[in-house]
Chain A
Amino acid sequence: MIEPAARPALAAKARLRYDRASGGYLLLYPERGLALNATATSILKLCNGELTVDGIVEQLQREYTGRTTPELRQEVVGFLEEMARRGLLRMSGAAG
C-alpha cells in the first residue's frame, strides 16, 4: 500500500527512454522493457523522489482536466503500486 505522502522515484535499475519508432516512451530495465502509454509516461516523469503521491496527482490534474481528483488518484496509486510490485519504483520516506 502506498502512502499519500510517499515520494516515489524510479528504481536504480529503471530508465525512461524516448522511442523514435513509436513516438512514445519506454521504461527500460535489465533484460526487459515496457512500452508506456501517455498517462503512464506523465506519471513516471513526475516520480522524481521529491513530489509526493498527492503532489503527483495535483500536477496531473492540470493536464487531465476531464477526470475528478479521486478518479485520478485511484488511477495513479494503482499504477504506482504495480510499478513498485515489479521493483521499478522506490519510495523515499514520507517525512520532510
Chain B
Amino acid sequence: MTAAPRPYTLVAELTYACPLHCLYCSNPADFARRHDALDAEAWRRVLREAEQIGVVQVNLTGGEPLLRPDLEALIEEARALDLYTNLITSGIPLERERLERFRRLGLDNVQVSIQDARPQESDRIAGSEAFERKLRVARWVKELGFPLTVNTVLHRENLDRIGEVIALAEELKADRLELANAQYLGWALLNRAALLPTAAQLERARPVAAAARARLEGRMEVVFVLPDYYAEFPPPCMDGWGRQFMVVSPDGLLLPCLLAHTLPGLSFGNVRERSVGELWAGSPGMEAFRGEAWMPEPCRSCARRSVDYGGCRCQAFHLTGNAGATDPACSLSPEHDKVLSARAEAAGARQGMVSFRYREARPGAS
C-alpha cells in the first residue's frame, strides 16, 4: 500500500432529506433507505479528524443541509478549525435571521441552486414552488456580505436558455456561476431520455458560456462543465478516486464520491466506527481505484491516465456493469458505443415528449 494522498476538501452530506424533487438529484436512487446516522457531535469529530489529515475546505451539503437544526454547531466548529466553509443549499427552508446567524458564525460562502431562469420551468424541474423563494435567499446572501455562488444544472430543457441563466446570475451579483451539465448517474440516469441534450444544443450553448466567461472575468467566475457524454475524453471525476476529495454520507460512510456506495462489492468504513484518517488511508473501497494499478487497457498505457484517472467509476459501472472498466464516455473506450447510442437517442427524441420521474422516496428501490 502506498501512502494515501492528502485530501483537501470534505464534502459533508448532512442528510439525504430535501424539500425539492429535482429530476437529476445527485443522491443515490435508494436514498430513502439510508438514514441520517451522525449527530452534531459525530459531525464535529469528522470535521476535526478531516482537518488533522489536511482538509482545508468543507462543503456542507445534502440533500438539504438547512433541514439540520444543528447546522449552526457545524459551521461554528468548521470555522474554529479555520476551514473554508461553503453551504450548498436549495435555499429552502431559510429565514433571513438564520442566514444572519450563519454569517456571525463565520460561514464563508453560500451556493444556491437555481433550476432555470424562468419561474415555471424552474419549479417544474424542482417539483416544488421554489423559484421566488430562492431568488429572495440569493439576494439576502449578497445583502449580508457573503459571496454568492449560483449553481444551475443544465439539461435539454434549459440548455437553450443559458443566456437567461447568466443574466439572472449577473442580476443577483453572483461571484461564481456554475453551469453544470447534469451527470447521468442516479436520478439523472433514470431520467436520461428526458434530460440529455443534443449535440446541436451544446454547440449553441458553448460559445454563449465562453463569451460570458470572458466578459465577466474578474467579476463573476463562470464555470461551464460539458456533459461527459459529449466530451472526447472524460473529465477527472472528483480529481481522481480518493485523491483530493472525501465525502462523508449521511449514514456515515467515508467515500471518494457521492455515489461510490452504490457500486457493488466495495466496502467503505463508517466514521462511527473508525477515524477519518484511518478510513481515508486504508478502507478497501478507498483503495480499490486509487492510483493506476487497477486500470485496464486502454487506460493503462494511455498518456491521459494521469489527467483523467480513467474517468468516472460509477458511470463505468452503470453503463458496462463493471466499475473497473474504462469510462465509456471516453472515445477510446471499447464500449463507447453505449454513449454514442444515448447521443443518437437524444438527437431523435422530440422535446417535451419524454416522461420523467421526480426524485421521491422509493423504499423498495435498490
A contact residues vs B (CB 8 Å cutoff) = 11-13, 15, 17-19, 21, 26, 28-31, 33, 84-87
Let me know if B84 and A28 touch, CB within 8 A: yes
Query: Contacts A13-B175, A30-B109, A85-B218: A21 and B6 contacting too (C-beta < 8 A)?
Result: yes
Kindly report which residue of chain A lies nearest to residue B178, judged by CB atoms: A31
Let me know if A11 and B175 touch, CB within 8 A: yes
Task: Flag whether B284 is at the interface (Cβ < 8 A).
Answer: no
Known interface pairs A19-B56, A85-B218; 18 further A-B residue pairs with C-beta atoms within 8 A, sorted by A's residue number: A11-B175, A12-B145, A12-B175, A13-B108, A13-B109, A13-B147, A13-B175, A13-B176, A17-B56, A18-B82, A29-B84, A31-B9, A31-B57, A31-B86, A31-B176, A84-B218, A85-B217, A87-B221
CB within 8 Å of A: which B1-22 residues: 6, 8-9
Task: Flag whether B127 is at the interface (Cβ < 8 A).
Answer: no
Kindly report which residue of chain A lies nearest to residue B219, judged by CB atoms: A87
Q: How far is the CB of B229 from chain A (nearest CB, A)?
A: 23
Let me know if B147 and A33 touch, CB within 8 A: no
Query: Contacts A21-B6, A85-B217: A12 and B57 contacting too (C-beta < 8 A)?
Result: no
User: Which of A18, A33, A86 lies in contact with B218, CB distance below 8 A?
Assistant: A86
Residues of A within 8 A of B176 (CB): 13, 30-31, 87
Let me know if A87 and B57 touch, CB within 8 A: no
Q: How far is the CB of A89 from chain B (nearest CB, A)?
A: 9
Nearest 5 A-B pairs (CB), nearest first? Answer: A13-B147, A28-B84, A12-B147, A30-B109, A13-B175
| 20 A–B contacts, CB within 8 A, in A order | A11-B147, A11-B175, A12-B145, A13-B108, A13-B147, A13-B176, A18-B82, A21-B54, A28-B56, A28-B57, A28-B84, A30-B84, A30-B109, A30-B111, A30-B175, A31-B9, A31-B57, A33-B56, A86-B218, A87-B176
Q: How far is the CB of B110 from chain A (nearest CB, A)?
A: 9
Give the distance in Å from the alpha carbon of A31 to the alpha carbon of B57 in the complex: 8
Give the distance in Å from the alpha carbon of A26 to the alpha carbon of B56 in the complex: 9
Give the distance in Å from the alpha carbon of A31 to the alpha carbon of B145 in the complex: 19
Chain A CB within 10 A, most for which of B175, B219, B220: B175
Q: How far is the CB of B56 from chain A (nearest CB, A)?
A: 6
Residues of B within 8 A of A84 (CB): 218
Give the distance in Å from the alpha carbon of A35 to the alpha carbon of B111 in the complex: 23
Let me know if B84 and A87 touch, CB within 8 A: no
Chain B CB within 10 A, most for which of A18, A29, A86: A29
Give the distance in Å from the alpha carbon of A33 to the alpha carbon of B6 in the complex: 14
Chain B CB within 10 A, most for which of A18, A28, A33: A28
Kindly report which residue of chain B lies nearest to residue A91, judged by CB atoms: B218
How does the 8 Å CB contact mask read for B131-164 relative to A, with 1 for contact and 0 for none? 0000000000000011101000000000000000
User: Which of B54, B108, B145, B218 lies in contact with A15, CB distance below 8 A?
Assistant: B108
User: Which of A15, A21, A85 lies in contact with B84, CB distance below 8 A?
Assistant: A15
Give the distance in Å from the alpha carbon of A31 to the alpha carbon of B9 in the complex: 8
Give the distance in Å from the alpha carbon of A94 to the alpha carbon of B142 in the complex: 24
Kindly report which residue of chain A lies nearest to residue B108, judged by CB atoms: A15
Kindly report which residue of chain A lies nearest to residue B84, judged by CB atoms: A28
Residues of A within 8 A of B108 (CB): 13, 15, 28, 30
Let me know if B220 and A87 touch, CB within 8 A: yes
Kindly report which residue of chain A lies nearest to residue B145, judged by CB atoms: A12
Let me know if B8 and A30 touch, CB within 8 A: no
Residues of A within 8 A of B175 (CB): 11-13, 30, 87
Let me know if A30 and B149 touch, CB within 8 A: yes
Q: How far is the CB of A15 from chain B (nearest CB, A)?
A: 6
Q: How far is the CB of B230 from chain A (nearest CB, A)?
A: 22
CB within 8 Å of A: which B59-87 residues: 82, 84, 86
Let me know if A30 and B147 touch, CB within 8 A: yes
User: Which of B8, B82, B218 lies in contact with A87, CB distance below 8 A?
Assistant: B218
Residues of A within 8 A of B147 (CB): 11-13, 29-30
Give the distance in Å from the alpha carbon of A26 to the alpha carbon of B82 in the complex: 12
Residues of B within 8 A of A15 (CB): 84, 108
